[in-house]
Amino acid sequence: VSERSACLARWRSPAARRALASLAVAALSLSSGCRPEAERPVRLVLITLDTLRLDGFDGERAAMPATAAWAERGLVFDNAYAATTTTQPTHASLLTGQHPWRHGVPRNGAVLAESWETLPEQLQAAGFSTAAVVASFPLQQAFGFGQGFDVYDDAFAVSTGARNWEGQTVPGQAFYSLSEDVLARALARLDGLSGERQFLWVHFYDPHEPYGDAGDDVLTLSALQRACISGGIDPDVTLKRARSLYDADLAVLDRDLGRLLSRLEADGEEYDTHVVLTSDHGESFGEGGSLGHGKRLSVEQLRVPLAIVSPRVTPGRRQDPAGSVDVAATLLSLAGLEAGEGEGRDLTLAPRGGRPPSVFGMRRTFAEPYSDIRTDGSRVTVTGPRFYAVIEGTLYTGTGDDVLVEDLPGRVPGPDVVDPLLALFGTFASELSGADLTEVTDPDTQRALEQLGYAR
């Protein structure tokens, strides 16, 4: 009885009644009680919060209480890692389910090839009405991120003037949007979605520098870097101020994102609503001498929030490592579709086998060697890609030539770990540099990859 009344309550709102009336199957559905799960209107939502480090969202420091409380109603992943520490490559992984050495966007400024069958394209082919609202220049349609979207809203509200971006001069124009504007556009695009299958992607940019730009006290990353060069900065004053302005931006984001989440919840009477929320990378505030993101593979930059709120998942916390590449397969599963060609796994299912899954990713590439400025004013030249692997809870980074335990400096891993990792990172490097090298034919290498949990 209680199940039936809950079911009927879900259909009691005027909007729900209108939706029902428009359905040819309405009479049949009502006569048989609840509509079968597969026949209810479905709404899939992907929310990406640019530059949100894990402790901004979760833990003692967290500055987003409303969003964190919302996430607790679903499945929260405590060990989620971004595919890269840079906006475009990670978003390309989120939308294709492919690792960054495969999808062809290893750095900002690259274009996602039309040949990829992206998540929104797969949804569109399955009859979904699709819309996206993005909040910053790197995700504008010209970079290939609009594939599969009926509507791609990349109109930005905040002008920054001409700037150098990835070696190109971007003319004075709107470069990004803050949450109030993104929220208004997201609600409008939500209203514009039609039909029984809907997909919305909303990207918020607020945590990204300039820090504090939702208020009057604004601090840019370049101002921080200039302070570093001219004699170092006082971490107790300057870095604390940067972090507190970042947290202030998170509080504003929390308010506006909360309004979007409330709207989705209210519409939940009408739609089965599945929301996946994550970030494209974190941010450094002086840890290991680093500022910002994109130049290193540190835990502060790699670990991100990841939550699924859906009637299909049992609320709780999961400890198994997850990655950006898993998001597309998970959304397809929530939509009731096949996982497709992606390399990720369906996170609605517990991992199979006795060992925790491994997670892989890389540092972005650079068109020219890049001079990274550290908090003591020193410069470190960053050139080629660097890869990472999270295996049994340990973060390793390296190239085809060296391996480090990133989060435990000084610890030297044994050859049982180093040898397969060198093979693995060498394979990633080969895939990155040669489009033809997509198959591993050497059985020893294949075995080494499988030992590490990287099976294809």
Of 279-287, 294-302, 338-346, 418-426: span binding Zn ion (CB under 5 A):
279-287
Residue number with CB closer to Zn ion (50 or 431): 50
| Minimum separation from the CB atom of position 211 to Zn ion (A) | 14
Residue from 84, 87, 124, 290 touching Zn ion (CB under 5 A): that is 87
Q: Which residue in 16, 42, 48, 50 binds Zn ion (CB under 5 A)?
A: 50
Closest to Zn ion by CB, 272 or 300: 300
Q: How far is the CB of 108 from Zn ion (least distance, A)?
A: 9
Q: Which window, 47-55, 100-108, 182-190, 398-406, contacts Zn ion (CB under 5 A)? A: 47-55
95 within 8 A of 119, measured Cβ to Cβ: yes
Cα 182 to Cα 155: distance, rounded to the nearest angstrom? 10
Contact 120, 337 (CB under 8 A): no
- 87 vs 333 by CB, closer to Zn ion: 87
Residues near 260 by beta carbon (within 8 Å), at least 6 away in sequence = 47, 183, 186, 187, 202
Nearer to Zn ion, 50 or 254 (CB): 50
Cβ at position 205, least distance to Zn ion in Å: 8
In this complex, which beta carbon is closest to Zn ion, that of residue 67 or of residue 124?
Answer: 67
List 280, 406, 407, 431, residue binding Zn ion (CB under 5 A)? 280
Rounded to the nearest 10°, the torsion over CA 416, 299, 83, 431 is -40
Q: Which residue's CB atom is positioned nearest to Zn ion?
A: 87
At its nearest, how many Å lie between Zn ion and the CB of residue 411? Answer: 30
Shortest Cβ 206–Zn ion spacing (Å): 11
Please state the closest distance from residue 266 (CB atom) to Zn ion, in A: 30
Considering CB under 5 A, how many residues would be counted as binding Zn ion? Answer: 3
Tell me how far, at minimum, the Cβ of 62 lies from Zn ion, in Å: 20
Return the range that interacts with Zn ion (CB under 5 A); candidates 39-47, 82-90, 259-267, 410-418: 82-90
Residue among 88 and 129 whose Cβ is closer to Zn ion: 88
Task: Find out whether 132 and 151 touch, Cβ atoms under 8 Å.
Answer: yes
Least distance (Å) between residue 385 CB and Zn ion:
18
CA dist., res. 329 & res. 308, Å (int)? 13
CB 293, min distance to Zn ion, A:
7
Nearer to Zn ion, 75 or 139 (CB): 139
Name the residue nearer to Zn ion (CB basis): 122 or 278.
278
Nearer to Zn ion, 134 or 183 (CB): 134
Query: Rule CB under 5 A: is residue 209 a binding residue for Zn ion?
Result: no
Question: With CB under 5 A as the contact rule, which of the stretches 16-24, 229-237, 277-285, 410-418 interacts with Zn ion?
Answer: 277-285
Please choose, out of 14-22, 84-92, 255-263, 295-303, the segment that lies near Zn ion by the rule CB under 5 A: 84-92
Binding site for Zn ion (CB under 5 A): 50, 87, 280
